[in-house]
Amino acid sequence: MRGRRWLLALGLLAACASETAGEHESVATAGSGGATTASSSVGVGGEGTPPATIDDDSPLGAHFDAAGHLQLAVRSGAAERVEAWLYAESFGADEVLRVVLEARGEGVFRGVVDAAELEGIETVYYGLRVWGPGFAYDPGWTPGSDLGFVADVDEAGHRFNPNKLLLDPYAREISHDPFHAGHSDGFAYTTGPDHRTTDTGAFAPKGIVLRSEGTPAKPRRAGPLRDQTIYEVHLRGFTKAEPSLPEALRGTYAGAATKAAYLADLGVTAIELLPLHETQNEQNDLDPESASGDNYWGYSSLSFFAPERRFASDRSPGGPTRELRDMVQAFHDEGIAVIVDVVFNHTA
């Protein structure tokens, strides 16, 4: 496995890197499927706030723009309809808003949510419902319905099923693993006759929209490989048993940051960290003595843009991103470049 590992050398790990507002639906009754069309909220984000318009230059994923409006962008070359479902809670809750994304060309679907529609929601969680050749859109569809179903696998091998809430591959943070203390049934995520209408919205992992993405520091280049002294280490194992650190910092990004000066004194010029991306491993945390879900090395990434939440001492939304960036900056301040293993041939 290690022989097939791909490396991505980064000077700085960046936390993992006009039309009017589109069609929105606000949920009238939780879980009823009785969504009502939201009234127009364009321009109601406050006096002087620019109206909510789709920004075709906004990067893929979900990002707040300068006016506080939420820009959404997803790429799919085969999808026929894409909806972003927004949640105020990550688990066990119904959606608070449904946003139909517009096809804007080159396979990109975009939408925008006015800032006013998100008032009172501390953290915005989101997932995607996608229709395609094997599951055509039907206006009468509700979660758990098979209206529009054609085939579990279409001729091109796609498995479109809007009953499965999808994780945005460009999400900057992820709420939780697919399997965790509150959900352990892996079959629920599958298609096929037995689980085709099993809706995963309440328990599926969701992307987290970061209120502040911060400003990445200037990248630091390591220089010619022949001149480097590279220290390869697993982020968690690096400080997990370090007695000089408070227990809360052991095995975390913050804990690793405290070792920057130590590595510089050793003559290290670059630190190479095994995968830092979100991966399925919460089962092992629940029972450390168990071999269940013991993906210690971090292969089979869930998302290449979301830092592993378990490696953060601050696991609140936005915490892993801030802590990871602070760690990278600590190494840069000591003249140490950061190299991160990226395993493209092992995904969850």
Judged on CB neighbours under 10 Å (0-12, 13-18, 19+), 329 is: middle
Euclidean distance between CA atoms 137 and 148, whole angstroms: 6
Distance from C-alpha of 167 to C-alpha of 204, rounded to nearest angstrom: 8
Higher per-residue pLDDT: 287 or 192: 192
Residue 220: what residue type? R
Work out the average pLDDT over 223-232.
92
d(CA 121, CA 30): 16
Residues 6+ apart with CB under 8 A from 336: 260, 263, 264, 268, 269, 270, 271
Which CATH superfamily does the domain covering 2-12+214-342 fall into? Glycosidases (3.20.20.80)
- β-bridge partners, 342: 6
pLDDT category at 30 given cuts 50, 70, 90 is very low
Q: Is the dihedral of CA 193, 194, 198, 204 positive or negative?
A: negative
State the average pLDDT over residues 136-150: 98
Write down the residue that tokens 């050749």 correspond to: 133
- Check residue 196 and give its pLDDT: 98
Q: What is the pLDDT of residue 33?
A: 38
9 pLDDT above the threshold of 70: no
Whether residue 20 is predicted with pLDDT greater than 60 in this model: the reply is no
pLDDT at residue 307 tops 60: yes
- Are the C-beta atoms of residues 253 and 310 closer than 8 Å to each other? no
60 exposure class (CB count in 10 Å sphere: 0-12, 13-18, 19+): middle
| Residue 66: both structure tokens together | 């300068």
Sequence spans of domains, the chain: 2-12+214-342, 18-171+173-209
Q: Which CATH class is domain 18-171+173-209?
A: mainly beta
184 vs 245, more confident: 245
Quote the CA–CA distance of 154 and 77 in Å, as a whole number: 14
Over residues 167-175, the mean pLDDT reads 97
pLDDT at 223: 79
Which one, of 20, 123, 110, 19, lies nearest residue 61 by Cα?
Answer: 110
Distance CA 153, CA 133 (A): 9
- d(CA 319, CA 325) in angstroms, rounded, equals 10
Beta strands 230-233; 270-273: pairing state: parallel
According to the model, what pLDDT value does residue 176 have? 93
* 146 CB neighbour count, 10 Å cutoff: 14
pLDDT category of residue 232 using cuts at 50, 70 and 90: very high
**Rounded-to-integer distance, Cα 307 and Cα 173, Å:** 6
CA distance 250 to 313: 8
Please name every residue paired with 254 in a beta bridge, in sequence order, or none if there are none: none
Average pLDDT over every residue of 57-69: 97
Lowest-confidence segment of 14-18, 93-97, 129-133 by average pLDDT: 14-18
Q: What is the pLDDT of residue 4?
A: 38
From residue 159, how far is each of 128, 156, 162, 285 by CA, in Å?
14, 9, 10, 31
Q: Give residue 49's pLDDT.
A: 79
